[in-house]
A and B are shown apart, each in its own frame.
Chain A
Amino acid sequence: MGRTKILGKWMLAAAAGSLVVAAACTPSSDDEGSSDGGGELTWAIGGAEAQPGGVDQKIAKLWNQQNPDNPITIETLPDEADQQREQQANVLQAESDEFDILGMDVIWTGEYSQNGWLESLDDVRDQIEPSVLEGAFDSAQWGGELWAAPFNTNAGFLYYRTDLIDQPPTTWDQLCQMAEQAGQKNGIGGLIGQGRKYEGFVVNWLEYYWSAGGELYNEDNSEVLFDPDIATQTTEFMQQAMDDGCFAPGFNTATEEEARAAFQTGKAVFMRNWPYAYQLIQDEGDPEVANNFDIAPLPTFSGQGTISALGGFNNAVSAYSSNKDAAKEFVVWASTDPEVQKMLATDASVPPVLTSVYDELQNEPDMALLSKVLPDAKPRPPAPTWNTISVEMQDALFPAYNGDGDPADASQSVADAFNESVE
């Protein structure tokens, strides 16, 4: 009897436990701020900076001080980009005016505009184009039309250990040589980057591909220029780097944070990562790393120049917004106001899009490097089918560079995915 009683208690506890989990998964139903009262705006954006205390909240506050008639509230979306996109898609699919301003990853522009979810910003193009970075501006266009105002941008850095390397490498082959030598000597890994099977891997692969002279599309994204031969060389280079130990152990399971963890605990000579890691390594890294690292542009295969993939977020106006004029005003302001854009850099280490901010913050090493790297940074094509292409690239190229598939076959299936995208 006592036994059954105790068992019953556990079952109850276990059931209660699962209920708590279920409750935690249910979306909260507070719709505050999305009421369609005349002047109010809702900004649907996700990520760490949209959380309370994040810089997006500060920007919203600043806007509200200056525009008490059109106050803005942030609808915080999940951290994961796919989930942000899904939540926005649900609202937009229903043609709801719940969201006025959409914080969009740079690769969603084509998909959203093709679905008719966005208000064209061509009439305010002149207010934005002259003052923001070219690559960021390109990522907000699709089909020759401007669909969003660039908000923040992003580019890859090469982080390296100054106590192990004298001069940062300018070619990938040089990097691998240094990585293997310095790594072996000190018993640590070579280069760590984003090699896990996800979007970040596609970004890393593209940086090798572009720096070998490859292209994806022509200027207006109407023709595919994908080169299977260069793609095969790229994948073979990565495969070789895996085998030789140029890539640090765990390269193929690392996202941004695993890479940072490995580098800042002294387990790798080099790291490819976004600028956000610069401050964090100084704050959190082991002293031997925190005091002995620097940043440099990513190498290329020829040793000429530098190439980086462009990331970042743009703000778009929803086609279903009931307050489009004010929403438009906000996105232009967030893109071009010097105070807002500077806040991104100083409060959050998020690279701004306004060129003047870079001149102003020249003395910050990460900002100085960004202004050197960004002019040559390439956006992933904001094609409507980018996600399909990206998944195809992950499915084909990941096994190939890990020795589970043939690089040439992989290049061919990626080429097919690109060709399908323009048909």
Chain B
Amino acid sequence: MAEVATESRTLSGPGPGGRRPRTKGVSEKGLGRLFVTPAIGLMVLVALFPVIYAFVVSLRAYTGRQYEGFAGFENYSEALNDDKFWASLQFTFTFTVISVGAEFIIGLGFALLMNQAFRGRGITRAAILVPWVIPTVIAAQMWFFMFNVNPGFINSALGLGEFNWLGESGWVKFAVIFADVWKTAPFVALLLLAGLQTIPTDVYESARVDGANAWQRFWHITLPLLRPAIFVALLFRTIEALRVYDLPQVMTGGAFDTESLSMVVQQYVVKTPDPGLGSALSTITFTIILGIGVIFVSLLGRELVIGRKDQ
């Protein structure tokens, strides 16, 4: 980027004191902005429009699907007074914290394993990634069959008889989280592996010369240098986990307090249509996810800046 900039500056002829002449048409910065305008315009249209539209709809009153007029923030107060919303928020957060935590630990283990040189590494890498390639709905249906009493694969494998995993309060959540960890730990592993491969090997070599053992190398070299990749992985997974829909929908249908925020949104948008309330709920969901995303990105940004200063 810096290279390109200097080059074009020489082309347009540097002014006195390295300043660009402002008289010559569009400035370089302006030109740059001009060039990215179509891309940004498209992004606004695709990404921002639905968000704004949902907000607009959330301010309207509906009976069924019929528009009744302006409602102000009534839909929001209805949403916030709905027990269903709070129950689903609680489940979504529980689900997110536990599943992302477990995925991180298991994913890191996988990544470290895949980063080692050993025979059969290629096959191991491919095998670990299989769950992530399977579409979530199919994985969910598969785990439903695994956990359900009938055919009951897990029960027969563990000799548990007719244990009703998906029909017992508490165990249902375990099953859903388990399926999610199985499905997405490979994704975390993939991101962390990419991070691991950017760490130069000579750092490890000199550490070894200095007499650092494996644990010290992991704690003082791998983890700090892996930080940006860890943040990216956690950010992606957290945002995705907060939006979870298909896993609980297919595995439980929302039974035993496993209804996620997205499932409640879907209910009000599709099943028992109230577009105003549905949009209010989805705007709230969006705000929560955006807030958490912003926290992550600001942490990530600082991390990157500090990293650069060190060099």
Contact = CB atoms under 8 A, between A and B. Distances in A.
Contacts, number: 90
A398 B255 contact: yes
B271 interface: yes
A185 interface: no
Nearest to B150: A262
Interface string B137-173: 0000000000011110000000000101011010000
A117 to B, nearest CB: 10
A17 B273 CA distance: 34
A402 B167 CA distance: 8
B132 interface: yes
B272 A387 contact: yes
Contacts of B84: 395
A190 to B, nearest CB: 12
Question: Which residue of B126, B164, B167 has the most chain A CB atoms within 10 A of its CB atom?
Answer: B167
A391 B272 contact: yes
Interface in B150-199: 150-151, 162, 164, 166-167, 169, 190, 193-194, 197
Given A249-B149, A385-B272, 20 more contacts: A4-B197, A10-B129, A11-B190, A14-B132, A82-B270, A85-B270, A86-B270, A115-B65, A196-B253, A197-B252, A197-B253, A250-B148, A252-B164, A253-B149, A254-B150, A265-B150, A267-B150, A385-B64, A387-B271, A399-B256
Contacts of B272: 385, 387-388, 391
B143 to A, nearest CB: 12
A252 B193 contact: no
Contacts of A4: 197
A325 interface: no
Contacts of A93: 65
A10 B149 contact: no
Contacts of A196: 253, 255
A164 interface: no
Interface in A365-423: 384-385, 387-388, 391, 395, 398-399, 402, 404
A21 B135 contact: yes
Nearest to A85: B270
A417 to B, nearest CB: 10
Nearest to A10: B129
Given A10-B129, A387-B271, A89 B255 contact: no
14 contacts: A10-B125, A82-B270, A82-B271, A115-B65, A115-B66, A197-B255, A249-B149, A249-B167, A250-B167, A252-B255, A254-B150, A385-B64, A385-B272, A391-B271
Interface of B: 64-66, 84, 122, 125-126, 129, 132-133, 135, 148-151, 162, 164, 166-167, 169, 190, 193-194, 197, 252-256, 267, 270-273
Contacts of B164: 249-250, 252-253
Contacts of B167: 249-253, 402
A404 B135 contact: no
Contacts of B169: 402, 404
A254 B148 CA distance: 9
A315 to B, nearest CB: 22
B126 to A, nearest CB: 8
A261 B164 CA distance: 16
A22 to B, nearest CB: 10
Given A86-B270, A249-B162, A115 B64 contact: yes
B65 A6 contact: no
A261 B150 CA distance: 8
A271 B21 CA distance: 86
Contacts of A12: none
Interface in A277-321: none
B148 A253 contact: yes
Contacts of B132: 14
Nearest to B66: A115
A252 B162 CA distance: 13
